Structure 1
Amino acid sequence: MIDKLWYKRSGINWLLAPFAALFALLTFLRRLAYQKGLLSSYRASVPVIVVGNITVGGNGKTPMVLWLVELLTQAGYKPGVVSRGYGGKAPHYPYLLHPETTTAEAGDEPVLIYQRSGCPVAVAPKRALAVQLLVEQCHVNVIVCDDGLQHYALQRDIELVVMDGERRLGNGWLMPMGPLRESASRLQQVMAVICNGGQARPDEVQMSLEPSPLCNVKTHHTALISGAVDAMAGIGYPPRFFNSLLLQGYALNQQVAYADHQVFDATELQKRFSQRPLIMTEKDAVKCRSFALDNWWYQPVTAKLPEKFANRLLAQLKELKYGTGL
């Protein structure tokens, strides 16, 4: 239903127009209050790069964050990642992830980023607290904020927007008429719009997701699988994952979509996916590791972006004045 309303112009429900207008007004006033200093915002002692979007749902921010962390590390920086920790309930905030941190404590995306990158990750609803923790305890010299484009309580130096190259901005309307968190004009104010899949426009940066060999959820061993398989995805836009598997030649018996950040029922999954090999996303795997069956697999993906953009990003970061350490 939401997909029809938001991503097909013929499905616009004009009864929601007053609510969209109210949302637009509140969004404008809130941002204006931060700009005018009526609401306080935190300026970190190190550069802050925000990776976000202006639409609801998954656009590929997590692979972009991982690409950015690797780029910064190779360039000699010590990055740290902050996140709200959506879907988790930590024992306290701010919360610094460690090898035994569960998705129930920190959320699926922060745990995935921590396990995949090995860089310091901290979560807190007030991201400024997470930033302070990483700077003081982990001595990072650049912060990557996973999501949070609309979290204006944290000042930022570079903004990157990741856009789904196929669904783009949907019907172009603000919530609840459409999928937009902010108006499309917001895209003109960021450093770059990253187009994930589809065809990037001339003023956008093309990003693609390169699949890696399947890894066993329990053992992390890689393997090649043939024959019929099942697939599941609890991400913002599951069809993207299923289509990727089909393009790789997998014969999908079941394609089961779950809500983004959904807490899985171990018994339900084990009953549903016991007959054939199951392929899931890496984001799902971090939630299923403790109860996975032997024939459950996940597929890591790696973001690929142009070298020209990487050089431009590093050059802009170098121009920021944050002391001699940078």
Structure 2
Amino acid sequence: MREPAFWYRPPSLMSRLLMPLGAVYGQVAALRMHSRGFDAGIPVICVGNYHTGGAGKTPTVLALTKLLRELGETPIVLSRGYGGKWQGPVKVDPERHVAANVGDEPLMLALTVPVVIARDRIGGVALARSQGASVILMDDGFQNPAISKDASIIVIDGDRGLGNACVFPAGPLRAPLPPQLARTDALIVIGDGTAAGAVAAAIAAQAKPVLSARLVPDAASLARFAGKRVLAFAGIGDPGRFFRTLRGAGVDVVRERIFADHHAFSREEIEALIAEAGRDGLTLVTTEKDIARLRGVEAIAASMRDIAAFAVTLAFDDAAKLRKFVADQLFKARENKYQARN
């Protein structure tokens, strides 16, 4: 699905016409968020968004994976497996599985951290625990009440913010903002934009941490594209952020091609991109998530050598603050669970 352009403009006639539907959707979503979820028995840290589409959850999950391992934990990611056909629960194997079955984000994450996909999140918790998880990292699911979260970390893009701040389908919000703010334990603002300023101020007013972060290009990717003219394409929630990251890193982006989030590329589409790039002397570049979706597609496999991924990591302005927050939340979660058992 491509996000409607009016979501990221001041409230328009279209958004106003859809507000009654948004009010109903929002009321149901807010009521669900009040439900008491299943206790996983081990700490659960959720990485989520207030809105649909991309904001930087995947690099945040990878950064938290690294941090948790430094703290001596054994994290396993729990994902719904959006975009994949399988219900699960199943542990993702990047050597055997493809994005069409398990989803592109889980397949990409599984290169770094164990990942379990499950539409039934309680079943996913059981599988993660059987695999030795000491902590579960939920990739999305902030608004879903099935599992009780010990800490919810929300990611927001500093350039896009919350768009028109209306509830779906009038805007991108998954639920009304007040109940979402109330259940936020920390906010991560990615990038230098100011569109998230009001949300950050609201979280800070609750004496909850607001962390600033930015996407940092991998050194090997920078070297690979130095002096190259590129055709960049992406089928993610916010392709514009990918293009801005490329240009911010000094990559000469000559042309952009945008596809819907989780787009299933056809052989014809990939061949057309390769032909266009070859005709104009351009290098094809896309996201790591798109590469994960392309891998394992038999009709496209032979063309992969003509496409390169631009790798990034998430760097925090105050990594010590994040480390303290995570360590404190783990301690508090284990204390609460111990007291509940005794």
Confirm whether residue 320 of structure 1 aligns to residue 333 of structure 2: yes
AA in 1 matched with 2:218: S
Aligned residue in 2 for 1:120: 114
Aligned residue in 2 for 1:151: 144
Deviation per residue, 1:220-256 (Å, 9 max, x gap) = xx73442321100111010111111122222223200
Deviation per residue, 1:100-144 (Å, 9 max, x gap) = 2211121000011111x1x221101111111110101x1111000
1:148 deviation in Å? 0.4
Report the TM-score when normalising by structure 1.
Answer: 0.88
Q: Could you tell me the percent identity over the aligned residues?
A: 33
- Matched residue pairs, number? 309
Q: Does structure 2 conserve the Cα–Cα contact (< 8 Å) formed by 1:169 and 1:180?
A: yes
Aligned residue in 1 for 2:62: 66
Which of 40, 45, 48 matches 1:44? 40
Aligned residue in 1 for 2:19: 17
Aligned residue in 1 for 2:32: 30
Deviation per residue, 1:128-180 (Å, 9 max, x gap) = 111110101x1111000000001101111100111111111111111111111
Which of 60, 74, 77 matches 1:78? 74
Query: Taking structure 1 as reference, are residues 234 and 97 closer, same or farther at Cα in structure 2, changes over 3 Å only?
Result: same
Report the TM-score when normalising by structure 2.
Answer: 0.84
CA distance in 2, matches of 1:316, 1:248: 34
Which of 146, 163, 171 matches 1:170? 163
AA in 2 matched with 1:175: F
3-state SS in 1 of match to 2:169: coil
1:294 deviation in Å? 2.5
Aligned residue in 2 for 1:97: 92
In the TM superposition, 1:216-227 aligns within 5 A as 223-227=224-228
Query: Taking structure 1 as reference, are residues 68 and 19 closer, same or farther at Cα in structure 2, changes over 3 Å only?
Result: same
AA in 2 matched with 1:129: G
Q: Does structure 2 conserve the Cα–Cα contact (< 8 Å) formed by 1:112 and 1:282?
A: yes
AA in 1 matched with 2:7: W
CA distance in 2, matches of 1:12, 1:188: 30
Deviation per residue, 1:13-67 (Å, 9 max, x gap) = 32112111211222233334x24xxxxx321111101100111110100000000
Q: What are structure 2's unaligned runs of at least 5 residues?
A: 205-209
Q: Does structure 2 conserve the Cα–Cα contact (< 8 Å) formed by 1:231 and 1:255?
A: yes
3-state SS in 2 of match to 1:260: coil
Deviation per residue, 1:185-226 (Å, 9 max, x gap) = 12232111111112464522111111114559xxxxx73442
Q: What are structure 1's unaligned runs of at least 5 residues?
A: 36-40, 217-221
- Please, which moves more after superposition, 13-22 or 54-63? 13-22
Aligned residue in 2 for 1:140: 133
Confirm whether residue 268 of structure 1 aligns to residue 264 of structure 2: no
- Please, which moves more after superposition, 207-216 or 178-187? 207-216
